[in-house]
């Protein structure tokens, strides 16, 4: 198999997932800023025009970063990054979705409606972006209250795909840019721990 990928929040999720599994697979670099995913031949690979794309040896493709991660988890279960047992897996699913929809989601809307890069995707609404900045701050406050129980990771005591979704949010925060407020002590402690992991990417300055 080979991975078509570039530097983006969703691309990072697969890159970090592979690094945390200790896996290396061939990567075909995709020039996202140059618009490569929105042109042929990439569109034939993924008509949705997005990375990451995992191309399997039988020629079929998987898209959606979490689906690609779940495929890798199925082939290489250790260390488990989607939780263990019915309840453990459900808790990771719950936190992965919470991070994705409630924290990353608002910030992603900010980027979609503020970045010149996304202008070609359709109309941008500055007032909506401002409201989503406010939703993002509220979500960070909620997350900080939840994580103030002393847990080390988003879903509990073990690093999981929910932390990886959080790392994608941190990458997006780097790009927007927004700085996580110092008073969110639990979230800031988690942010430092995530950025100290060997799987955290080296970012262009």
| CA–CA distances in Å: residue 187 to residues 64, 135, 173 | 26, 16, 13
Q: Which of residues 24-63 bind a second copy (CB under 8 A)?
A: 47-48, 56, 62-63
Residue 69's Cβ-count burial label (10 Å; 0-12, 13-18, 19+) is buried
Q: Does 158 bind a second copy (CB under 8 A)?
A: no
- 3-state secondary structure (DSSP) of residue 196: coil
Q: Does 70 bind a second copy (CB under 8 A)?
A: yes
Q: Binding residue for a second copy (CB under 8 A) from 27, 28, 111, 131?
A: 131
In the complex, the smallest distance separating the C-beta of residue 204 from a second copy, rounded to whole angstroms, is 28
Q: Does 125 bind a second copy (CB under 8 A)?
A: yes
Q: Rg of the chain's alpha carbons, rounded to an integer?
A: 17
DSSP 158: S
Kindly indicate which of the ranges 27-35, 87-95, 169-177, 186-194 contains the residues binding a second copy, using the contact rule CB under 8 A. 87-95
| CA–CA distances in Å: residue 140 to residues 20, 72, 98, 104, 145 | 25, 30, 11, 10, 9
Q: Give the binding site for a second copy (CB under 8 A).
A: 47-48, 56, 62-64, 66-68, 70-71, 73-75, 85-87, 89-91, 93-94, 97-98, 102, 122-123, 125, 127-128, 131, 134-135, 142
């Amino acid at each position: 198999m080979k991975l078509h990928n570039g530097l983006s929040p969703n691309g990072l999720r697969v890159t970090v997932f592979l690094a945390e599994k200790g896996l290396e697979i061939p990567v075909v670099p995709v020039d996202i800023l140059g618009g490569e995913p929105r042109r042929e031949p990439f569109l034939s690979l993924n008509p949705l025009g997005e990375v990451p794309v995992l191309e399997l040896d039988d020629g079929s493709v998987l898209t959606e970063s979490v689906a690609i991660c779940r495929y890798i988890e199925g082939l290489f279960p250790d260390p488990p990054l989607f939780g263990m047992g019915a309840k453990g897996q459900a808790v990771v699913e719950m936190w992965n979705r919470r991070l994705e929809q409630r924290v990353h989601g608002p910030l992603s809307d900010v980027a979609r409606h503020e970045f010149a890069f996304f202008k070609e995707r359709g109309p941008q609404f500055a007032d909506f972006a401002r409201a989503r900045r406010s939703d993002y701050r509220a979500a960070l406050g909620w997350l900080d209250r939840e994580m103030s129980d002393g847990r080390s990771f988003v879903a509990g005591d073990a690093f999981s795909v929910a932390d990886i979704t959080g790392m994608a949010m941190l990458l997006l925060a780097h790009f927007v840019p927004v700085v996580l407020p110092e008073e969110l002590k639990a979230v800031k402690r988690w942010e430092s721990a995530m950025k100290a992991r060997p799987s955290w990417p080296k970012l262009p300055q």
